[in-house]
Amino acid sequence: MSDDFEAIGTAIEGGLVAKAVDDEGNAIRAEGDVAGNCLNCETPVLGKYCSNCGQPLHVHRSIGALWHDILHGVLHFEGKFWRTLPLLAWKPGDLTRRYIHGERARFISPMALFLFSVFMMFAVFSFVGDPFSSGGDEIIDKGIDSGIVAQAEEIDGKIKAKTAQLPQATGDNRVKLENDILDLKKGRNILATLTGEDAPFPEISLSDGDTQIGNYSDEELEQIQAGMKDIQDGNVLTDTSRISTGSPEADKWLRDAVKNVTSNPDLLLYKLKANGYKFAWLLIPISVPFVWLTMIGRRGFHFYDHSVFATYSIAFMSLLFIFCAILAAVGVTEGLWASLLVFYPPIHMYRQLRHAYQLSRPEAIIRVIFLFVFTIISIIIFFLILLALGVLG
C-alpha cells in the first residue's frame, strides 16, 4: 500500500516539477491600477499579477487552494497540456517547428514534458509492475526442465537395467556393459548440472574410461569437470578464471565486478531500473549529435532545434510506452499494444522529421532510415552506460 501512495506522490511531483520548469521565467503581465506590492519581490503590482515575477497579488492559504495547485500542476498545465499532447501524438513535426519558431507560451516546453513523462513512468510502473510479462518465459523454462527431468529418468532406468545385467555378463559383454553404464552415468551428471542438482555419481569423472568425449584431452576434460562444479556452486568466475586485459589490476577488477554481478543478478536488475529513471536525461545529449548527423547537409538549423526535436521525441516515446503498459495491465489484447509499440514509433519519427525540418517525402524517408539506425545506437549507448553504472555501483 505504501508503494501505491509513493507512486501517487511521484506522479504529483512529476507534474509539479514539470510545471515549475515550464513556468520558469514566464512572467504574466496585467494592466490596471496599482493594487499593492508583490509579496515575492515587492514590486508595485498593476492588476492581479506581478509584472516582474508573475506571482499573483493575492495568495491563498487554504486546503482548497493547495488541492487546486496540485490538480492545476498535474492535469492542467495552464491549458498547455491539452494543446500539446494531440499535436505531439499526431503532428509532432508541426509542434516542434512552432515551438522552435516562437510559440513557447502556447505549448509545454520539451524539457517539462520530458520530466513529466519520466515521473509518470516511474509512478505507473510502481502500480502495475511488469505488465508486459505474460509468463511465456516461465512456461518455456518449465518445458525445458520437464524435458531434462524426463531424459534423466530415462537414463536412470537404463543404468538400473544394465546394472542388473552385470552379474550374468562375462568377457567382452561385461566390458561393454561397464562402458555403457559409465557413459550413462557421465550423461546423468551432465543433466544434473543443467538443472542445478548435485551430481548423482560424483565419483565418475568425464575423463574416466576409454570412451572419448569430443576431441578433448584428459586435462581438458578435467577442466570442464571443474567448470561444471563451479556452475553448480554458482561460481561463474573464480580466482583462477582467465581474464586477460594486459593489466593484472584490471583483470582482478573485472573478475571481482563480474563475480559480484553473477552472484546477485537481481541487485543488478534493480540498479539498472533505478539508474534508468535517474539518468534518463542522458538520452537527450546522446541523441542530439545523431539528430545533427541525420540532418547534415541542411542549413538553417541549430543544435537548439535538434535538442527540441530529440526531447519531444523521447518524451512521446516514454508516454507511448506508459500508455501501452496501462493497456497491457488492464488486459487489452497483446496484438494491439504490441502493434503500437512496434509500428507507430517509426511513423511518428517520420512525421516529426518531415514536418519539423520541412523535408520532401523521399528525403524524409531516406533521412528517417538513418535516424532509426542512430536511435538504436543511442539506446545501446544508454544501456551500456546503465550497465557500467550498475556494475561499478
Structure confidence by residue, pLDDT tens digits, 257-273: 777 676 777 788 888 88
- Any idea what DSSP says for residue 56? B
Q: Which of 72, 71, 39 is nearest to 55 (CA)?
A: 39
Give the pLDDT score at 387.
87
Are 225 and 124 in the same domain? Answer: no
For 237-261, give the DSSP string. Answer: S-TT----SS-HHHHHHHHHHHHHH
When pLDDT is cut at 50, 70 and 90, the band that residue 140 belongs to is very low
When pLDDT is cut at 50, 70 and 90, the band that residue 199 belongs to is confident
For 145-192, give the DSSP string. Answer: HHHHHHHHHHHHHHHHHHHHHGGG--HHHHHHHHHHHHHHHHHHHHHH
Please classify residue 254 by burial: count the beta carbons closer than 10 Å to its beta carbon, then call 0-12 exposed, 13-18 middle and 19+ buried.
Answer: middle
Q: Is residue 53 part of a domain?
A: no
**How far apart are the C-alpha atoms of 193 and 154, rounded to whole Å?**
17
Residues 282/382, Cβ–Cβ less than 8 Å? yes
Are 127 and 175 in the same domain? Answer: no
Are 165 and 109 in the same domain? Answer: no
Are 173 and 291 in the same domain? Answer: no
Are 339 and 370 in the same domain? Answer: yes
Task: Find the domain containing 150 and state its range.
Answer: 140-234
Give the pLDDT score at 151.
80
- Please give the grid coordinates belonging to residue 22: 515550464
- Please give the grid coordinates belonging to residue 385: 552506460
Q: How far apart are the first and last CA of the chain?
A: 29
State pLDDT tens for residues 12-51.
555 545 555 555 444 444 444 567 899 899 999 888 889 8
212 pLDDT more than 50: no
Q: Which of 385, 378, 386, 388 is nearest to 317 (CA)?
A: 378
Q: Is residue 271 part of a domain?
A: no
Are 214 and 286 in the same domain? Answer: no
Give the chain's domain count: 2
**How far apart are the C-alpha atoms of 202 and 218, rounded to whole Å?**
17
Are 91 and 201 in the same domain? Answer: no
**How far apart are the C-alpha atoms of 3 and 125, rounded to whole Å?**
11
Are 319 and 211 in the same domain? Answer: no
Q: Which of 3, 299, 290, 269 is nearest to 128 (CA)?
A: 3
pTM, entire model: 0.66
Among 42-56, 124-138, 181-195, 319-333, which is the least confidently predicted range? 124-138
Are 175 and 214 in the same domain? Answer: yes
Give the pLDDT score at 242.
59
**How far apart are the C-alpha atoms of 137 and 120, rounded to whole Å?**
28
Residue 224, SS3 per DSSP: helix
133 or 114: which leads in pLDDT: 114
Residues 258/236, Cβ–Cβ less than 8 Å? yes
Cell numbers 515550464: residue: 22
Domain boundary among 234, 258, 293: 234
